């Protein structure tokens, strides 16, 4: 007889969840509100997903003009992580990103990055429209102004996304203490 499943279906599981890092690029550094804090939390998510063996995809908006993903993040990305350039604000509709998202085989995505009211907003809406579940790591999302950040997050939630935080995401995916993964993630969030 199989064990009774008691976890709520809204709780994240490591084998069912992927991470999308949206446009955390060098040119945004001086313009984004609380940029360093947002990058710090994106880094924790990346390292946590890497520890749990969960897929990660990274997008870059027009890197010729905006630079590439910041070194704080590229330095911790797993070797085979897709880092895909785009001109669209949404990640959906960019063939290489569509292929990476589909190729993951997963329907539940944690999203972090910038800007909340532009690329994150449009990506989340399009992912929801495509049948994905989206969880916003709100402490790893920002915009140039706090108001635009709030508007972007509120709009995504109204469309069906769920708000969470970096630590909540990772500890849901862990499910329990006592493992080497738990120890590694606990060190990340200290």
Which uninterrupted H or E stretch holds 111?
A: strand 108-114
- Among this protein's residues, is 126 annotated catalytic? no
Tokens read off for 63: 């890197």
Which uninterrupted H or E stretch holds 164?
A: strand 162-164
Neighbours of 53 (CB within 10 A): 10
Tokens read off for 189: 């969030």
- Which residues make Cβ contacts (< 8 Å) with residue 163, sequence separation at least 6? 135, 136, 138, 153, 157
The residues facing 22 across adjacent strands are: 59, 113
User: Is the peptide bond prior to 125 cis by the omega test (within 30 degrees of 0)?
Assistant: no
What CA–CA distance (Å, rounded) separates 71 from 18? Answer: 21
Catalytic site residue from 112, 119, 139, 156: 119
Catalytic site residue from 42, 86, 126, 156: 86
- Among this protein's residues, is 112 annotated catalytic? no
Catalytic site residue from 23, 112, 126, 156: 23
Q: Are strands 108-114 and 83-86 parallel, antiparallel or unpaired?
A: unpaired
- Among this protein's residues, is 23 annotated catalytic? yes
Positions marked active-site:
23, 86, 119
């Amino acid at each position: 007889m199989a064990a009774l499943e008691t976890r709520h279906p809204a709780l994240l599981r490591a084998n069912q969840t992927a991470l999308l890092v949206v446009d955390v690029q060098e040119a945004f550094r001086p313009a984004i509100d609380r940029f360093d804090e947002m990058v710090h939390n994106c880094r924790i998510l990346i390292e946590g997903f890497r520890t749990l063996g969960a897929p990660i995809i990274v997008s870059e908006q027009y890197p010729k003009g905006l630079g590439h993903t910041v070194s704080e993040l590229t330095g911790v990305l797993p070797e085979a992580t897709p880092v895909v350039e785009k001109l669209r604000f949404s990640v959906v509709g960019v063939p290489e990103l569509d292929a990476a998202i589909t190729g993951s085989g997963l329907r539940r995505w944690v999203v972090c990055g910038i800007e909340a009211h532009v690329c994150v907003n449009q990506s989340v809406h399009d992912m929801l429209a495509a049948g994905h579940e989206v969880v916003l790591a709100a402490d790893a999302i920002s915009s140039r102004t706090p108001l635009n950040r709030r508007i972007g997050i509120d709009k995504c939630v109204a469309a069906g996304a769920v708000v969470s935080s970096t630590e909540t995401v990772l500890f849901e995916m862990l499910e329990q203490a006592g493992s080497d993964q738990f120890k590694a993630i606990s060190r990340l969030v200290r």
